[in-house]
Structure 1
Amino acid sequence: MKKKLSILLVLALVLFAHISVVSAAQFKDEYKLSVVVGPGFPWGAGAEKFVELVEDRTAGKVKIKPYFGGKLFAGKQTNEFAMLQQGQIDMAISSTINWSSQVKELNVFSLPFMYQGYDEIDAIYNGKTGAYILNLLEEKGVKAFGWGENGFREITNSKRPITSPDDLKGLRVRVVGTPIFFDTYNALGARPISMPWGSAINGFKQGVVDGQENPLLGVEIPVEIWNYHSYITLWHYLFDPLVIGINKEVWDSFDSKTQEIIEKSAEEALEYEQMLARMGLDDGTALNYLKENNEEKLFSFEDPIKFIESKGMNVSILSSEQYQAFKDKTQPVRDKWRKIIGEELYQILLEDLEKK
């Protein structure tokens, strides 16, 4: 009897050891998370929140290391999606703009002068358009969760206030190096230039680059754009969302419980990031969220527009008539890119916008 019990005990120990090894083997020592910016940006703070939530909720079994400043793709942001697909990167929190070269449908968010407020953006996130994009990314090998955001992209420059298309004529503007940005600025009579951010800063200092476009809280305030430019126009000319993407093979390697934890953590981190990017620019919802949840605000101020004015910036906010002039001027760009993103997606977008 004792011999039989001993055999059973040995078998049980072997089985337990096997289960433990399998359980431990399902996780890598480290999961690489690509982040374009640093932790001092809403985008970077969202990445830190995601890492913290996942590690805490998995008791440290899923260790995610954020690589800030685009270290994993060596300065070539448009390579990030392909590297994620191929498994060279495990995870990324990224702008849809950076992936739009590989996934043309992501240019739907960059249609110029298509969106004016957060109610429209939320209708897209929560509607068929948002679901369409997330499903499309999964079909292409990246499990994606939405939505965070950089925000509406605004233009700054060192020359003059911009309140009409004529004000842009001849201005040398640093833009994202994707075709829809070049089409937009060419249509407005500007001279779009694509260059890395470090080179752009030198260009501003040397006077060979006149302006740039980026989200106010997402980029312009963190980089202290007032050190280079005196004029900003809050024209909301396009929107810049963020998603958390995970290589599909990496995602499939997680058990269902871990997947549930990661999904919940991604959603919470992106909501927090979104509130940081909207703070003081919406109807007060973002600031209330941060206060009620005792979340780090990242910024010391509560009114970003007053803050940049205190730094000496001249702020222009377009009237509806001024906005329409820019919209009319860029109609050919929207017509062209409507065909590129596909009529099906474009019609879904219009349906969502009608529901705002």
Structure 2
Amino acid sequence: MSSTSVFTKFAAGLAGAALLSAAFSAQARELSISTVLSDAFPWGQAAEKWAELVEERSEGRLTMRVYPNAQLVAGDQTREFSAMRSGLIDAAVGSTINWSPQVPELNLFSLPFLLPDEAAVDAVTGGAAGETIFAAIESRDVVPLAWGENGFRQLSNSRGAIAAPEDLEGLKIRVVGSPLFQDTFSALGADPTQMSWTDAQPALTTGAVDGQENPLSVFDVARIDQVGQEHLTLWNYMNDPLIFAVNRRVWESLDEADREILREAAVDAGEWEIAMTREQEAERLAAIRERGVEVTELNEAQYQAFVEATESVHQEWVPQIGEALVEAARQAVEAR
């Protein structure tokens, strides 16, 4: 064989390897997204929107598969952040409540009656406090990209109208697995009972617990009034922002262009979901009322009575969350 033939075959081999490498790099990469709720709820729709935008903008180079109902952590939503941090989950649209056991700063949003309205939420997430929280998340090997919103959590029960702290005396209220929630409802004289949402629905049906707290979207879509929750109090006692985030190793494995696609798609999906969630509130409330639920709306004096009844919770939890962070949030709320 001539040296020219050998060179030609060698060059052809190199070209083939280059083409194979290019084809391999062009293959779609699939990332997993964890969410606690399905796309029947705004929360799940936020994850689906993120996936849709990423696939569209990457022209199929990046795809994201959504795993709802916390199925990647066997239904234990409080393990979601740890699983993403360790790399078992690539990405998530997660709750500040569920991630707070691993990121104490996220308890800021669960401080009772800190955030009275949507403008206050936006002032905190969009300001210095929000930046501090994102930095705290990133220090734990998870890269936060954008905010979403699960909404203000309202209170329902099967016993009667709740318009004052004393109306909660002795009521068994299902709460999420956060000590701060336990302390808040204990301060109000209730009997907080921690359980997963899977366990909560049958417990509400049988009367093992008297009430629960959730955003209107969850109350409406899950038809919580059908499990005996005939009384609903609108009290905006805390807001649960959602966070779009990615495992750090996954993030660093992407080139700059794909990182930008992920981030911009998360921001756009978050803004879309926040607007949708807020726009639907009035419609959801009307639908809930039409189903016969008694709705109690607090006046200023009634609201202030709940604020005063939970002051001890702030005194206990502010040092754990970080006094500088809480002060930054309070200043943002006052300046909104």
TM over 0.5: yes
Q: Which residues of structure 2 form unaligned runs of 5+?
A: none
Is the counterpart of residue 313 in structure 1 residue 312 in structure 2? no
* Structure 1 residue 306 displacement after superposition: 1.6
For the 8 Å contact 1:94–1:243, the answer to whether it is kept is: yes
Is the counterpart of residue 225 in structure 1 residue 251 in structure 2? no
Runs of 4+ aligned structure 1 residues displaced above 4 Å come to 2-9
| Paired residue secondary structure (1:69) | coil
Question: Which of 317-326 and 200-209 deviates more?
Answer: 200-209
Q: Structure 1 residues 344, 18: closer, same or farther in 2, change over 3 A?
A: farther
* Structure 1 residue 351 displacement after superposition: 2.3
Identity %: 39
* Structure 1 residue 23 displacement after superposition: 2.3
**1: CA distance, partners of 2:289 / 2:235:** 16
Is the counterpart of residue 61 in structure 1 residue 61 in structure 2? yes
Q: Structure 1 residues 194, 32: closer, same or farther in 2, change over 3 A?
A: same
**1: CA distance, partners of 2:79 / 2:73:** 6
| Paired residue secondary structure (1:116) | coil
* Structure 1 residue 81 displacement after superposition: 0.7
Amino acid at match of 1:244: F
Deviations 1:122-157 (A, max 9, x none): 101110111111121111100112211110000000
For the 8 Å contact 1:93–1:242, the answer to whether it is kept is: yes
For the 8 Å contact 1:134–1:146, the answer to whether it is kept is: no
1:16 to 15, 18, 29: 18
Deviations 1:93-142 (A, max 9, x none): 11011000011110000000111111111101110111111121111100
**2: CA distance, partners of 1:83 / 1:24:** 28
* Structure 1 residue 201 displacement after superposition: 1.3
| Matching residue of 1:293 | none
For the 8 Å contact 2:146–2:263, the answer to whether it is kept is: no
Amino acid at match of 1:315: V
Amino acid at match of 1:71: Q
Deviations 1:203-232 (A, max 9, x none): 111111100000112x11110111121100
| Matching residue of 2:312 | 332
State the number of aligned residues.
332
Amino acid at match of 2:22: S
Amino acid at match of 1:317: E
| Paired residue secondary structure (2:69) | helix
| Matching residue of 1:132 | 132
Q: What TM-score, normalized to structure 1?
A: 0.89
Is the counterpart of residue 354 in structure 1 residue 328 in structure 2? no
Q: How does 1:140-179 map to 2 (within 5 A)?
A: 140-179=140-179
| Matching residue of 1:51 | 51
* Structure 1 residue 342 displacement after superposition: 1.0
Question: Which of 153-162 and 195-204 deviates more?
Answer: 195-204
For the 8 Å contact 1:155–1:235, the answer to whether it is kept is: yes
Amino acid at match of 1:115: L
Amino acid at match of 1:131: E
| Matching residue of 1:299 | none
Q: How does 1:34-49 map to 2 (within 5 A)?
A: 34-49=34-49
Deviations 1:10-42 (A, max 9, x none): 3761563364166247x64x3111111111000
Question: Which of 152-161 and 191-200 deviates more?
Answer: 191-200
**2: CA distance, partners of 1:153 / 1:214:** 5
Amino acid at match of 2:316: K
Amino acid at match of 1:61: R
Question: Which of 156-165 and 60-69 deviates more?
Answer: 60-69
Question: Which of 344-353 and 74-83 deviates more?
Answer: 344-353
Deviations 1:210-256 (A, max 9, x none): 00000112x11110111121100000000100011100000011100
Deviations 1:164-215 (A, max 9, x none): 0000001000001110000000000000001122221111111111000001
| Matching residue of 2:325 | 345
For the 8 Å contact 1:97–1:240, the answer to whether it is kept is: yes
Question: Which of 12-21 and 222-231 deviates more?
Answer: 12-21
**2: CA distance, partners of 1:216 / 1:182:** 21
* Structure 1 residue 337 displacement after superposition: 0.8
| Paired residue secondary structure (2:208) | coil
CA RMSD of aligned residues (A): 1.9
